[in-house]
Amino acid sequence: MDFLLPAPVLRALDMLEEGGFSAYVVGGCVRDWVLGIPPHDFDICTAATPEEMKEIFKGERTIETGIKHGTLTVLMENEPLEITTFRLDGDYLDGRHPSSVSFTRKVEEDLSRRDFTMNAMAYSPKDGLIDPFGGQKDCRDEIIRCVGEPERRFQEDALRILRALRFSARLGFPIEEATVRAIGRLKENLEKISKERIAVELTGLLQGRYAREILMDFAPVIVSVIPELAQADPVLWESMLSSLAHLPREPLYGWTALLNSCSTAPAVCADTARRILRNLKMPLKLIEGAGELIAWRDADLQPHRMQKMLMHLGPERLSQLLFWREAEKPGAYEKSRTRMEELLRENACYSLAQLAVNGKEMAALGLRGAQIGAALNMLLEQVVDGSLPNERQALIHYISRHAPCD
């Protein structure tokens, strides 16, 4: 069966072959093709050195950021393609990266440094599938297996431990036995791995269809990268596991669900979650989101509270909170969501910007500085409670009688 490759990829392979260098698509895209999953990007590897590639692609726009490691990015019909020289890793002395890399002309050598058999296949229209480690068979048998001796491969780069978990969480394939044993023995080596690399793999794991199974079977590995989870509350941990399958597969929900089990006190838990995520160098938006969702996890979300909740959280966060809480109790918040949507459609007032008065009018009443903000907030609370209508006259009248003091 032929692998249907996008035109820019075929063109790059052709140009390299015409220049006298073998060239293949490699890694994730070949695995996905063998598994019948549409690949999301195409990595190319070749016998050509970076200098030779530059010569071949001199008519195209190229970006040289990865050139030290043998990677040239070529903009082929506006499609950025990463093309990497076949590489052989030297010794791994620090448990995370090779102390040297050298280029090779043999694709099999490049494949031998790759992590799992299913990721160690290459393909070209000219040579077909190159599969020296039985990747196709392992894909068929649905098993995740290291290329070579698992213990050695994890000693070289402990990140591969988390990568095995991520692929297993995504595909639902079990990890081969000797590989599981090596994971158990070497998980502490993950300490040597940079937070950024750990975060990428964990985020991928949490979004996997089978994340629940992996978190159940490999909890000690997760604890070795997030020690705070050693004291996870068992009840919260269980509800996290059961919620995962119902949550949208987005990093925010996965991380919120996972870190929600850190403590039974929401405020403490939110602080711990923010600290963990900061430490993992996660994007600020995710840190704030997960922290806020956890802090508000016990909020009363009945329909009549929706306007108030909109005031506290805004529409986006409240909607996320409903999704998340709903995943633990399917169907429980349908009416609340309907109510929230109704309020938004009606343009109900839940924020200072929507109030029928503003700071200028407060100043005209003689209020100054912090008093103005305090007055507006007081009015907003009254409007959201339904004690006052959101009408200019009514609000001014109210504040002229109840002006806040400093």
| Footprint of ligand ATP (CB under 6 A) | 27-28, 43, 114-115, 119-120, 157, 159-160, 163
Q: Is 28 in the site for Mg ion (CB under 5 A)?
A: yes
Report in angstroms how near the CB of residue 115 gets to ligand ATP at its nearest: 4
CA nearest neighbour of 236 among 254, 209, 257, 216: 257
- Dist. CA 122–CA 114, nearest whole Å: 11
Looking at beta carbons only, is 201 or 292 nearer to ligand ATP?
201
Q: What single letter denotes the amino acid at residue 283?
A: P
Tokens representing residue 75 in the block? 């903009």
Looking at beta carbons only, is 113 or 325 nearer to ligand ATP?
113
Chain centroid offset of residue 169 CA: 13
Looking at beta carbons only, is 209 or 392 nearer to ligand ATP?
209
Chain centroid offset of residue 370 CA: 41
Q: Are 251 and 280 spatial neighbours (Cβ–Cβ below 8 Å)?
A: no
Q: Is 95 in the site for Mg ion (CB under 5 A)?
A: no
- Helix, strand, coil percentages, rounded to 5, for the chain: 55, 10, 35
Looking at beta carbons only, is 69 or 126 nearer to ligand ATP?
69
Looking at beta carbons only, is 28 or 373 nearer to Mg ion?
28
3-state secondary structure of 128: strand
Q: Which of ligand ATP, Mg ion, none binds 160 (CB below 5-8 Å, type-dependent)? A: ligand ATP
Tokens representing residue 153 in the block? 């491969």
Looking at beta carbons only, is 122 or 355 nearer to ligand ATP?
122
The DSSP letter of residue 349 is: -
- Dist. CA 178–CA 168, nearest whole Å: 15
CA distances from 224 to 136, 145, 158, 302, 321 (A): 32, 22, 12, 39, 29
CA nearest neighbour of 225 among 247, 200, 257, 242: 200
Task: Name the segment binding Mg ion (CB under 5 A); options: 24-32, 160-168, 268-276, 322-330.
Answer: 24-32
Report in angstroms how near the CB of residue 335 gets to ligand ATP at its nearest: 39
Report in angstroms how near the CB of residue 281 gets to Mg ion at its nearest: 20
Tokens representing residue 341 in the block? 């949507």
Q: Is 125 in the site for Mg ion (CB under 5 A)?
A: no
**Phi and psi at residue 273, in whole multiples of 5°?**
-60, -45
Task: Name the segment binding Mg ion (CB under 5 A); options: 12-20, 28-36, 203-211, 355-363.
Answer: 28-36
Q: Which of ligand ATP, Mg ion, none binds 355 (CB below 5-8 Å, type-dependent)? A: none
Q: What single letter denotes the amino acid at residue 205?
A: L
Looking at beta carbons only, is 39 or 50 nearer to Mg ion?
39
3-state secondary structure of 27: coil
Report in angstroms how near the CB of residue 28 gets to ligand ATP at its nearest: 2
For CA atoms 76, 78, 82, 84, the dihedral sign is: positive
**Phi and psi at residue 173, in whole multiples of 5°?**
-85, 140
Q: Which of ligand ATP, Mg ion, none binds 187 (CB below 5-8 Å, type-dependent)? A: none
The residue number with the shortest CB distance to ligand ATP is 28
Q: Which residue has the tokens 């403590």?
A: 263
Report in angstroms how near the CB of residue 195 gets to Mg ion at its nearest: 20
Report in angstroms how near the CB of residue 75 gets to ligand ATP at its nearest: 20
Q: Is 35 in the site for Mg ion (CB under 5 A)?
A: no
Looking at beta carbons only, is 46 or 119 nearer to ligand ATP?
119
Report in angstroms how near the CB of residue 29 gets to ligand ATP at its nearest: 7
Q: Which residue has the tokens 């907030």?
A: 377
Task: Name the segment binding Mg ion (CB under 5 A); options: 26-34, 47-55, 167-175, 384-392.
Answer: 26-34
Report in angstroms how near the CB of residue 41 gets to Mg ion at its nearest: 6
Report in angstroms how near the CB of residue 194 gets to ligand ATP at its nearest: 12
Q: Which of ligand ATP, Mg ion, none binds 115 (CB below 5-8 Å, type-dependent)? A: ligand ATP
Q: Are 309 and 299 spatial neighbours (Cβ–Cβ below 8 Å)?
A: yes
Residues of this chain that interact with Mg ion (CB under 5 A) are 28
